[in-house]
């Protein structure tokens, strides 16, 4: 055994003197083979050369994501080198290689086992982050209405999947994802970026079209009348210019307008869930009989 060890020492030193490239047994990387290095090489020869293996050789990430790969077999002493450190930052702790994506691109990370000289390569691909402009939160729209969501960052190659195709669907118009309301209800649209491997989700609620049965009322001076709401979300906002001329009351089923000054005017009512609006004009006429102000069913008696 002693003779074998002596032979290996001289053989290794002889190889060290003649080699023109880094020595496989050079653990400390100083270009020399020390007794410690020789001992390690003897152990490898006597016990078998340990393979260098990693758990996977391909990693996909998005910009600013982190990932890791475990070294599953090797001597325990390694170095890692990235082909482009501006794309991926690489670090090593124990037997785990850590990746931090800095920008889009692809790199090769080379792992080297100091004792055996064996290497393994890991190919890492970094995609841009797929981002939709969803600052407004969930999407509310009416049947037949479209809603455009700007693509802040994406490849332009998308697929869409609706949890309920009878309620809502989506398409891409070149710059935005366009959601279309098809039927009353709720659905989730899943948007897949096929090239950047990203996914985004859009929660959609579709309401009935905002519709009223009349857009013009005529009342006697000081009178009032109501417009019936045929359909809508039930959430409405009223806008009119002069509160001294009229008074407006809105419920889930009607919009009632009362004249105050005799000036009449226009009232705008908006469905706050879908953004749809209707305008109602109030015409005021004098009562030819001089009776008290009246209301009625759209004030037909005032015509």
**Would you say the pTM of this structure is higher than 0.95?**
no
Please state, in angstroms and rounded to a whole number, the distance separating the CA atoms of residues 220 and 274: 34
The pLDDT of residue 191 is 94
The pLDDT of residue 153 is 85
Rounded to 10 degrees, what is the CA torsion of 9, 11, 14, 15? Answer: -110
3-class SS of residue 44:
helix
The pLDDT of residue 256 is 96
Top pLDDT among 241 and 5 is at: 241
User: Using 50, 70 and 90 to split pLDDT, how confident is the model at 43?
Assistant: low
Residue 70 · residue 52 · CB < 8 Å: no
Mean pLDDT along residues 201-213 = 96
Over 80: is that where the pLDDT of 143 sits?
yes
Where in 209-291 does DSSP place strands (E)? 211-212, 216-220, 224-231, 236-239, 246-250, 254-259, 265-271, 277-285
pLDDT tens digits for range 59-101:
998 888 899 999 999 988 999 999 999 999 999 998 999 999 9
The pLDDT of residue 152 is 87
The rounded mean pLDDT for the chain is: 84
Name the least confident of 64-73, 190-199, 268-277. 190-199
Q: Which of 225, 212, 214 is nearest to 296 (CA)?
A: 225
């Amino acid at each position: 055994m002693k003779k074998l060890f002596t032979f290996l020492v001289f053989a290794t030193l002889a190889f060290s003197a003649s080699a023109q490239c880094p020595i496989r047994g050079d653990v400390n990387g100083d270009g020399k083979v020390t007794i410690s290095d020789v001992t390690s090489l003897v152990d490898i020869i006597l016990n078998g050369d340990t393979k260098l293996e990693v758990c996977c050789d391909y990693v996909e990430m998005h910009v600013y994501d982190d990932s890791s790969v475990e070294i599953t077999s090797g001597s325990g002493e390694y170095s890692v080198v990235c082909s482009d450190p501006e794309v991926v930052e690489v670090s090593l702790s124990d037997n785990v290689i850590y990746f931090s994506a800095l920008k889009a691109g692809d790199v090769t990370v080379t792992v080297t086992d100091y004792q055996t000289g064996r290497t393994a390569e890991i190919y890492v691909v970094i995609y841009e982050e797929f981002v939709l402009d969803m600052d407004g939160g969930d999407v509310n729209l009416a049947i037949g209405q479209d809603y455009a969501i700007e693509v802040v960052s994406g490849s332009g190659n998308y697929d869409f999947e609706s949890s309920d195709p009878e309620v809502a669907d989506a398409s891409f118009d070149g710059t935005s994802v366009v959601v279309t309301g098809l039927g009353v209800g709720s659905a989730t649209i899943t948007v897949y970026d096929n090239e950047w491997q990203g996914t985004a989700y859009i929660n959609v609620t579709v309401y009935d079209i905002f519709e009223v049965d009349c857009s013009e009322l005529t009342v006697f001076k000081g009178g009032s009348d109501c417009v019936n709401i045929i359909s809508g979300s039930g959430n409405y906002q009223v806008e009119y210019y002069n509160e001294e001329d009229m008074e407006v009351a809105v419920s889930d089923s009607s919009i009632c307008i009362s004249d105050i000054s005799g000036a009449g005017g226009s009232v705008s009512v908006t469905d706050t869930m879908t953004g749809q609006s209707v305008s109602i004009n109030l015409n005021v006429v004098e009562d030819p009989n001089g009776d008290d102000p009246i209301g009625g069913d759209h004030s037909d008696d005032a015509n």
